[in-house]
Chains A and B, each alone.
Chain A
């Protein structure tokens, strides 16, 4: 299998059924994944912040860095690659409360809220999500099958199953 690495603040879409999209070390960042099982199109974004700055050049130079620009862009690219919105399966992971981030600007929680806001705006709903908490995650999505796997820093590996629920993180960082 061909591994395509999605970097921090980056995103991409593939139509290669042999490809695996991977993004590493999701702390407060969120990875959103889209998959069309019929067209075999898979996309992934690893965004860092909920809202893009007012400055247009900054928004344009790193659109995948911010949830409000990253998610519509990923959707557009996936549809342009042949995905059908009605068939799209949506997965999400990340948004953890990282150590020492007890400030009122809990980025992980804000990234989770931005995710839910965007999904609502575009009429999408997550099939499965593993968000919030305090755990750092690495995520892999197989473009051919649409299966999503998570891994912890300690090496524990688990599959993201459908209807695992989209939990809103609590104040203490745990999932609702």
Chain B
């Protein structure tokens, strides 16, 4: 079964980096969509189901905090797991985002394996080797 994954970050190169990490998981990825801010991501989620969202916090137009609030508040989207990937590693921020409904949180800088493991933990899958 293929998974659809959305990457939300205002940095195009960070989106490329995250896309590469997703490939490291070995998951069968159907679609890997990208959005530059929370509003674009929200609009895209209403068009097509995603199995996982990776989101930054500091973004223009709609930041990651507002984005997570809107996803959780929408009963058609609330089941989609969201992992926050942010430069903010403060305890206050982490607690706030998890409290809002994010299922995982990774602080930058991070090793690719760390995010890969968090993705697998949130999705309840294990990196499979032959």
Contacts of B23 in A (CB 8 A): 123
**Is there contact, CB below 8 Å, between A168 and B111?**
yes
0/1 interface trace, chain A 130-165, chain B, CB 8 Å (1 if under) = 000000000000000000000000000000000001
B1 CB, nearest partner CB in chain A, Å: 18
Task: Return the contact of B111 from the options A38, A87, A166 (Cβ within 8 A).
Answer: A166
**Is there contact, CB below 8 Å, between A165 and B113?**
yes
A41 CB, nearest partner CB in chain B, Å: 12
CA distance A87 to B26 in the complex (A): 10
In the complex, number of A-B residue pairs with CB atoms less than 8 Å apart: 24
CA distance A168 to B113 in the complex (A): 12
Task: Return the contact of B129 from the options A37, A120, A123, A165 (Cβ within 8 A).
Answer: A37
CA distance A120 to B26 in the complex (A): 14
**Is there contact, CB below 8 Å, between A125 and B113?**
yes
**Is there contact, CB below 8 Å, between A125 and B130?**
no
**Is there contact, CB below 8 Å, between A125 and B116?**
yes
**Is there contact, CB below 8 Å, between A120 and B130?**
no
CA distance A96 to B24 in the complex (A): 27
CA distance A127 to B126 in the complex (A): 12
CA distance A38 to B26 in the complex (A): 17
- Interface: A5 (CB within 8 A): no
- Interface: B12 (CB within 8 A): no
Contacts of B130 in A (CB 8 A): 37-38, 86-87
Which residue on chain A has the smallest CB distance to residue B112? A120
Contacts of A125 in B (CB 8 A): 24, 112-113, 116
Contacts of B129 in A (CB 8 A): 37, 87, 89, 127
CA distance A126 to B116 in the complex (A): 12
A154 CB, nearest partner CB in chain B, Å: 30
Interface residues of B in 21-46 (CB under 8 A from A): 23-24, 26
CA distance A154 to B85 in the complex (A): 43
Q: Which residues of B contact A (CB under 8 A)?
A: 20, 23-24, 26, 111-113, 116, 129-130
22 A-B pairs within 8 Å (CB atoms) are namely A37-B129, A37-B130, A38-B130, A86-B26, A86-B130, A87-B129, A87-B130, A89-B129, A116-B111, A120-B20, A120-B112, A123-B20, A123-B23, A125-B24, A125-B112, A125-B113, A126-B113, A127-B129, A165-B113, A166-B111, A166-B113, A168-B111
Add 8 more A-B contacts to A123-B20, A125-B113, A165-B113 (CB < 8 A): A37-B129, A37-B130, A38-B130, A116-B111, A120-B112, A125-B24, A125-B112, A125-B116
